[in-house]
Chains A and B, each alone.
Chain A
Amino acid sequence: MRYLPLTPEDRTAMLTKIGARSVDALFRDVPKESGVGRSAFALPDHQGELEVERALSQLASRNIAGGAAPFFCGAGAYRHHVPAAVDHLIQRSEFLTSYTPYQPEIAQGTLQYLFEFQTQVALLTGMDVANASLYDGSTATAEAVLMAQRITRRPKAILSGGLHPHYAQTTRTLAALAGKAVQAPVKPGKVGDIAKLIDDETACVVVQTPDVFGLVRDLNPLADAAHAKGALLVAVVTEIISLGLLESPGAMGADIVAAEGQSIGNGLNFGGPYVGLFATREKYLRQMPGRLSGETRDAAGKRGYVLTLSTREQHIRREKATSNICTNSGLCCLAFTIHLSLLGEEGFRRLARANHARAVALAEQLSKIKGVSLVTPAFFNEFTLKLPKPAAAVVDALAADGVLAGVPASRLMPQEGQTRDLLIVAATETVTDQDCDALVKALTKGLA
């Protein structure tokens, strides 16, 4: 077995030193009836690299990869170009195979990139502080609601109708434990009036921008309405590259920002691993969940970094911790940080412009198709179309023709009859003119 260095002779010598007759003796505390032989598992024996690679490649070949088709899927996960340097660097052994930086003297690499990551996230979101990541955008949103409940000591969270339904479900699952989450009506392409739902029990209002239909939202009026009632505004961003062009949530009055960072540095990966971004105001720092890297000095006076404010965390506070989180998305943070460093101010803004320009052009092309109309008046790189027939069947038919046309809204919210004909289309910098033409052609044919 290529991964196991001990030889039979080694094992015998080690048992002699231990004073045990056999390995079985070491397992003597295991009740006899629960120790089972290898055949009980009905699983195959070990295989060589070649055989494993063959088996898994065969499974991979049964999927249509994003790069193999005109590709327009979004709705919370976006296909962007990740520079080759990113994947090369995150595979360096010292990053890939290290643990959580509990011994800071020999983990400065991890601690410093987390510090850089926190700074980048705070800058992008327009907030004072950011943590060293959560699992993904949806769990970050749920944690934001729990944090708002702690800060305000109020039970209710109001979820806007444009919040990604998976995020809303994740949040409801968690927020219901300590309070409740109220879902505002879904109004595709419209802002909706949820300010009137805010009352004295409201801990926070959760608003996504661009929302699940792609609609760009002005958070200012809601921030004012929430603050007037002593509630917080939680802003959710699923397409972080939008912040290269759009006003930051912090500048629009958000108190907590929960975002998905996958678009920067991380692939689609069929839904995970992704990287949850979490940022807030300085005054709420000690209510924040998750790990933080902080600057300090070593005994020789040199600048260095440590995990800090860990008295909020489960390994110190146990049942009184701000969250049960332990694992973060370390390596995904690193990919994010490297990609954003490569882009820089200029590259990031260009990337955002390229995305928006592509989406604007595609929306114009598609809304010229007979029976198709644009639902979202303001958008970044994703918009919603109303088709003259149910979108799910159209998407399936186009997929069979080798075009991944987008996400039918009914996949996310089948209970909302009004979304049956809605198609959510994303166009990033990876989309070419030929891809757009192929989509126009296929959709025209599919609707005919």
Chain B
Amino acid sequence: MMNKQGRPSAAGAAEDMAPPTISGDRGLDHEEPVIFELGRPGRTGVDIPDVQISENRLGGLCRKKPIGLPGLSEPEVIRHYVRLSRMNYAIDSGLYPLGSCTMKHNPRLNEKMARLPGFGDVHPLQPQQTVQGALALISELMTWLTRLTGMPAVAMSPKAGAHGELCGLLTIRAALAARDERRTRILVPSSAHGTNPATAALAGFTVDEVPAKDDGHVDADALEAMLGPDVAAIMLTNPNTCGLFERRMKEIAEHVHKAGAYFYCDGANFNAIAGRVRPGDLGVDAMHINLHKTFSTPHGGGGPGAGPVVLSSALAPFAPLPLLVSDAQGFRLIEHEDDAPNGTKPFGRMCAFHGQMGMFVRALAYMLSHGADGIRQASEDAVLSANYILASLKDVMSAPFQGYCMHEALFDDSFLQGTGVTTLDFAKAMIDEGYHPMTMYFPLVVHGAMLIEPTESESKESLDRFIHVLREMTKEAKAGQRERFEGAPRLAPRRRLDETAAARNPVLRWKPAVGIKQAAE
């Protein structure tokens, strides 16, 4: 269909009408080979003097064969990676409603600050008198984290959320060992992130699943009944992965403590309550904070993150090395168990060095920029935006739970019943509309789950447009327009990819095609 100007007016029309191109590229959309298929031997993108070594000191262990790296000049490398970048969706280019992932805006000031030579070009083992500013920054971030959570201590070294979970559970293990108790079980709700049971197993515990109730909350009565002398801890996410605040949390904490166990809170969703609620007031013993979610260090295509763990006074003495202390001489890192202050007994070490400094700088820049007032406002706006989406879509999509949500709105697939369209199809069709899909099929407690987290970074106009598009999509699904969904996406750099084939016959590295290799030899 054409409009009056003769331009195609329907989505997908342009793709259908354009003839195949000679190059295989289409306008701004370029196909791009693997870097190993580019370049020429001997070419390089870095000028380094060709130093000859008359007598090496390598102990006779020289590499005998070439490595097999391609040779490219700087312009070729830049073009290659710029072209690859254009095949990615990003929060900077559009709304990214991935529930449980918190794709909020990443302020560029934070990037600039992390690149100051005084932070970015400092070695972790420089004499401590030469890094007092870096240690002061970590100390200030610790102050923010402990005050925002109402917890007395924080372990800074964990490098991601799951690493923080492990740190928390190892701290609990050490505390139990100090009490001369061997408790073996960890209770984890069925709605938990997969990292919770995986971490508990890694830390040497057995995992018992606590059921969810029909209203999306954890079954607190069942949980209490499961407590016993062999339970080491519970791991509870609050707000939970259904986007609901566990209103019986304090009561649960009391029962957990009465049973001699510890309360681990998965802080992945702290961004809903930061600046309004202090987990320490709710009886939490340990909670990791994903700096890459709540405090907006960029996700970077999957990392790096950072997962500091705030600790109650019961657990604080067992925090891992290194510890940061200060005295009249300034700040000092305690890097060895023998140097640990009296009354502390670090359980070990989570990683080399002192944690994700680059993320610490960005997170502190975020905190200073927002302030306590802005952090509170951000949480409120995130919750407000999620509820706005819930209220605007619940008549055409299906919300499994009644009432308000926190920072993410959960839908199930019952509104698609009888349409032949699945959650996966619906999500893939969003790609053709220019949106990143929401989180699909998680949490597991809801059938065909769609979890939408808009974050505080979207304007009302942006939310309204998103709501409009989703409403129209539900109409089309219900009107029987199956092919629009089943074949989606059509307008992305790739159509649906064959994941089964990828897993059945894994190709995990580039290898020269046989013909090319023979020709080269």
Answer yes or no: B372 CB below 8 A from chain A CBs. Answer: yes
The residues of A that contact B63 with a CB separation of less than 8 Å are 243-248, 251
Q: A6-B381, A251-B64 are in contact. Are A324 and B118 (CB under 8 A)?
A: no
Extra contacts, 7 of them, besides A23-B383, A319-B201 (Cβ < 8 A), are A6-B459, A14-B385, A29-B244, A93-B91, A268-B124, A320-B201, A326-B194
Interface string of A53-87 (1 = CB under 8 A from B): 10111111111111110010101110100010101
Interface hit among A221-229, A342-350, A431-439, A440-448: A342-350
Interface hit among B5-13, B256-264, B269-277, B470-478: B269-277
Residue of A nearest to B378 (CB): A4
Residue of B nearest to A331 (CB): B300
CB atoms of A216 and B58 under 8 A apart: yes
9 smallest CB-CB distances across A and B, nearest first, come from A60-B118, A378-B59, A271-B353, A62-B133, A331-B300, A173-B348, A271-B124, A93-B92, A273-B304
The residues of B that contact A107 with a CB separation of less than 8 Å are 87-89, 301
Answer yes or no: B344 CB below 8 A from chain A CBs. Answer: no
The residues of B that contact A71 with a CB separation of less than 8 Å are 123
Answer yes or no: A195 CB below 8 A from chain B CBs. Answer: no
The residues of A that contact B118 with a CB separation of less than 8 Å are 57, 59-63, 65
Answer yes or no: A92 CB below 8 A from chain B CBs. Answer: yes
Q: Given A15, A52, A132, A313, which contacts B384 in the complex, CB threshold below 8 Å?
A: A15
B496 vs chain A, min Cβ distance (A): 5
A-B CB contact pairs (8 Å), 28 listed: A1-B377, A17-B392, A29-B404, A46-B374, A52-B365, A52-B368, A63-B133, A89-B82, A96-B298, A102-B98, A112-B84, A128-B509, A269-B122, A270-B122, A272-B354, A273-B303, A285-B506, A304-B497, A309-B503, A313-B194, A315-B195, A324-B162, A345-B70, A347-B46, A354-B48, A360-B57, A407-B125, A415-B336
Residue of A nearest to B499 (CB): A306
Interface hit among A154-162, A164-172, A199-207: A164-172
The residues of B that contact A319 with a CB separation of less than 8 Å are 197-198, 200-201, 207
Interface string of A259-301 (1 = CB under 8 A from B): 0100000011111110100000000010000011111111110
CB atoms of A14 and B460 under 8 A apart: yes
Q: Which B164-218 residues have a C-beta within 8 angstroms of A? A: 165-166, 170, 193-195, 197-204, 207
Q: Given A26, A122, A327, A350, which contacts B161 in the complex, CB threshold below 8 Å?
A: A327
The residues of B that contact A396 with a CB separation of less than 8 Å are 127, 129
Residue of A nearest to B71 (CB): A344
Find the residue from A47, A135, A269, A294 having the highest chain B CB count within 10 A.
A269
Q: Given B347, B356, B374, which contacts A45 in the complex, CB threshold below 8 Å?
A: B374
Answer yes or no: B86 CB below 8 A from chain A CBs. Answer: yes
Name the interface size band of chain B.
35 or more
Interface hit among B109-117, B221-229, B309-317, B412-420: B109-117
Number of A-B contacts (CB under 8 A): 714
The residues of B that contact A88 with a CB separation of less than 8 Å are 78
A101 vs chain B, min Cβ distance (A): 7
Residue of B nearest to A164 (CB): B352
Residue of A nearest to B192 (CB): A318
The residues of A that contact B58 with a CB separation of less than 8 Å are 216, 245-246, 356, 378-380
CB atoms of B497 and A306 under 8 A apart: yes
Q: A66-B121, A173-B349, A273-B359 are in contact. Are A341 and B506 (CB under 8 A)?
A: no
CB atoms of A60 and B508 under 8 A apart: no
Answer yes or no: B43 CB below 8 A from chain A CBs. Answer: yes
Give Cα A98 to B106, complex, Å: 11
CB atoms of B101 and A116 under 8 A apart: no
Q: A110-B88, A246-B63 are in contact. Are A105 and B303 (CB under 8 A)?
A: no
A100 vs chain B, min Cβ distance (A): 4
Q: Given A115, A135, A311, which contacts B304 in the complex, CB threshold below 8 Å?
A: A135
CB atoms of A56 and B34 under 8 A apart: no
Residue of B nearest to A137 (CB): B352
Give Cα A326 to B282, complex, Å: 27
Q: Given B103, B125, B201, B493, which contacts A106 in the complex, CB threshold below 8 Å?
A: B493
CB atoms of A30 and B273 under 8 A apart: yes
CB atoms of A56 and B113 under 8 A apart: yes
The residues of A that contact B78 with a CB separation of less than 8 Å are 85, 88-89
Answer yes or no: B332 CB below 8 A from chain A CBs. Answer: no
CB atoms of B302 and A110 under 8 A apart: yes
